[in-house]
Amino acid sequence: MVNQESEREKRKAERMALETEVEFIVDADVIQAKSIDVSETGIRIETDDSIKVCMRLNIDGEKKDMEGQLVWTKKNEKGGMTYGFQYTPPADSDE
């Protein structure tokens, strides 16, 4: 069982609930990866760099573009997937 207190301690910023439409823009570049293991139902891979995506969120009626990197995934109760992204500075930023 995951210790919820230790999970909160890892967070650098407080979370707030926000249900809104999000558009994903996934870069069409070919990403090189190395397989770790494989089975009849899937494969585990690792990459040298993170998998980056652009996201467009509708916040208070205004579209806001954000860039992020995929940091975790898990199957949800509805049979779909839930993804966690960490925001990253835009590629044209000096950060």
pLDDT in tens, 35-58: 999 999 989 999 888 888 889 998
pTM above 0.85, yes or no: no
The tokens for 27 are: 């870069």
Q: How many CB atoms lie within 10 A of CB 14?
A: 6
Asked if 25 contacts 38 with a C-beta cutoff of 8 angstroms, the reply is no
How sure is the predictor about 3, in pLDDT bands with cuts at 50, 70 and 90? very low
Residue-level pLDDT at 5? 47
What single letter denotes the amino acid at residue 88?
Answer: T
- Give the gyration radius of the chain's Cα atoms: 16
